[in-house]
Amino acid sequence: MELSQRPEVRHRVTLSPQVYQGLSILAMPVADLQQLMEVEMLENPVLEVDESESESAEEPEPVDERDDERSWDEWLEMYEDLDTVEQTAPRDPNAESANTEEFVGGVQLFDDYLFDQIGLLDIDEPVVRAARLIVGSLDDDGFFVGSLDEIASWAGVTRNEAEAGLKAVQQLDPPGVAARDLAEALCLQMESLGLDEPNLQLIIREHLDDVAANRFRKVARALKIDESEARRLAEVLRALNPRPAGAFSPGPSPGYIVPDVTLRRFDEDWLITPNNEALPMLRVSPRYRSMLKSDSTADDETRQYLKDKIRSAESFIKNVDRRKDTVSRITQIILEVQAEFFEDGHGVLRPLRLEDVAVEIGVHLSTVSRGVTGKYMATPYGLFELKHFFSGGYRTASGVDVAATSIKQRLREIVVEEDPAKPYSDQKLGELLSDEGVTVARRTVAKYREELHIEPSWARRRR
């Protein structure tokens, strides 16, 4: 056999610490990101707040005094609109104000975090039951340690539905959750990150022990690649997380909530404004950038130091900007889908699922989950977590789609209005909803009642 060499151009996606930094930044609430930005600016001298918009070095052009006064008048009118929009928004004066405490989260358990995501998937009820049981069969590291046959038996579903439930959970955030072994967890993370590395998959499935022992020459021979390429793949592998659940950190219960975006209404149009006060624009300091110019007196060591710091700063800025863009794009979709709700803050919510948004903005489902969890929107009707607007749904007898969130709200209203001496059973609650055009199974009513922390009928009875 004749050996030969030939050049080949291949597109390769590699995993870097910057990628993980971007995922971490996307998952952070505003308060945590504020602290991270302060730490970055302390540790990286070239990173600073961009105040160029407020500091103009150019001499202003002369303007007609009347034009200047008119401009100020227009600006003041806009400012007054912003200040009074909540009072001028059409609201029912007899209606109760929104209870925003329902939409402010505290510490969340890992199981509840996964259950919330399952509720936003477009899957059948039997698959949902299997998926929830699979979540209950995860170990502390997030691995599925049960049996699909057992899951199928407990959930009363087929083996295929149990497998569909497992695949559904494996789509969720954090990437790699519900894997059955380490190799599957790492491959799931590769998929979520969009990594196209066939040799890395072979290493994961056949050579993990060799990589752990730094036997790169053996790996290179087995895969017929250069040793340097084997080392590069090993570095990518080490950036993945062998403990999927270890990526989940609920953090302390927030003392206060900082919105990521603000919604303001001007006539029939809505304006989405990122919270630039909490998350200011960053930039690389022009002073340090100028030290890299050819006529600079900086020595080689200083130049190299500045280059490294500038690369790090630019990566951080891009990740913060990408987070703002992702949250704003998700908010825009929410605004479009839930237009009826935003008319007066009491409209019916429409079904909206994570998959729908993921497809619309072209990202992985787990990215959307990170983008809505712990992110809040300030509106004329109160402060809402983005995931409040996501829910599965039902179609009424008249053909109108209604979100599960609206069904829960109606369920709460029915219980409040019931006779305390003769509270409604779950079956009766389902029949009342059915009379209103929404067919909901009794077990689903029971599930919603428990999620609303409403006691069963026997406990609600007052003699």
CA angle 228, 231, 236 (to 5 degrees): 130
Q: Which of 247, 271, 296 is the last residue of a domain?
A: 247
CA distance 420 to 433: 19
* Within-domain flag for 42: no
Most confident segment among 319-333, 411-425, 448-462? 319-333
Residue tagged 């380490």 (tokens): 182
* Residue 276 counted as domain residue: yes
Sign of the CA dihedral running 172, 173, 175, 179: negative
Which of the four pLDDT bands, split at 50, 70 and 90, describes residue 227? confident
364 and 269 in one domain? yes
In a domain, 253, yes or no: no
Q: What mean pLDDT comes out for the span 374-397?
A: 76
At 391 the three-state DSSP class reads strand
The last residue of one of the domains, among 357, 389, 421, is: 389
Choose one of 366, 389, 412: the last residue of a domain: 389
pLDDT in tens, 405-428: 667 778 888 888 888 888 888 888
- Residue 15 domain-assigned? no
On whether residue 165 sits in a domain, the answer given is yes
CA distance 265 to 85: 7
Q: Is the pLDDT of residue 13 over 50?
A: no
For residues 243 and 116, membership in a common domain is answered with yes
Domain that holds residue 220: 110-247
Dihedral sign (CA 36, 37, 39, 43): positive
Average pLDDT over residues 293-312: 82
Range with top average pLDDT, 33-47, 67-81, 358-372: 33-47
Whether 430 and 159 have beta carbons less than 8 Å apart is answered as no
Distance from C-alpha of 322 to C-alpha of 319, rounded to nearest angstrom: 5
Query: How many angstroms separate the Cα of 288 from the Cα of each of 50, 303, 309, 318?
Result: 14, 10, 10, 19
143 vs 108: which has the higher pLDDT: 143
Residues 6+ apart with CB under 8 A from 32: 251
Using CB atoms within 10 Å of the CB of residue 283, give its burial: 0 to 12 exposed, 13 to 18 middle, 19+ buried.
middle
Closest CA to 429 of 451, 402, 457, 405: 457
Are 216 and 332 part of one and the same domain?
Answer: no
- 316 and 363 fall within a common domain: yes
Domain shared by 242 and 281, yes or no: no
The answer on 373 and 309 residing in a single domain is yes
Residue 5 binned pLDDT confidence (cut-offs 50, 70, 90): low
Which residue type, as a one-letter code, is found at position 141?
D
Query: Both 174 and 135 in a single domain?
Result: yes
Are 115 and 240 in the same domain?
yes
The reply to whether 209 and 311 lie within a common domain is no
- Mean per-residue pLDDT, 387-401: 59
